[in-house]
Structure 1
């Protein structure tokens, strides 16, 4: 009675081993040499000698180059103090949904506060839509976004 051979024992079928070697050789192709493992070049005693300014010789010593010019955004304009249209939008879009949520969570507030909250939210939305300019951008026919 013969015992089955384990593939790691090294005692396989010679025909199968030969066929496997032919398949592997065909994958590499006849003109391709065997790949050599990559070996790191030795570091010189002059760490960084011969490298351009700002180039690191080791990934642990990398420092990003200093930027002379960087973008500083301009100060935003102040909120319009006398613009009632703006403040109506803010009150409607903030206080309206807040009243709806509070009237749903606090049983003391009746359904009238829910209606007031919905009406405030709708009024804020309508004011927001009315505030949009009738035409957007220059009339160049591109209809694209302005960046």
Structure 2
């Protein structure tokens, strides 16, 4: 059996005439299957929308960048706007789950700014210089 495209979690699929035999000479009934979509280690499904975390370096988030993002169908390129913070969602319209009866879902890449776990001496110097020269205070209300 092939599962039709666009099936979502909890949806029922009807298989006409593939159920139990009828009594006497009655034809077989219909078989109904309830679809359950297992969680994926990378992607999260919300209705027809697909979500993924997108790790970016601090300089990519601050300056903007075009970065690869994994999708269920391969890899796409997204543009991280300058000044992006963790939690910002980038939307790829219509790139989520297909919908045979309407518009497809969307694909969302949620930015996660990642800091190097260990800094080289030069990286430490640059971050210290940035700390001394920047007036940015992430704890100040905007």
Normalization by structure 2: what TM-score?
0.20
* Greater RCO, CA 8 A, separation 6+: 2
Higher helix share: 1
Normalization by structure 1: what TM-score?
0.20
Higher strand share: 2
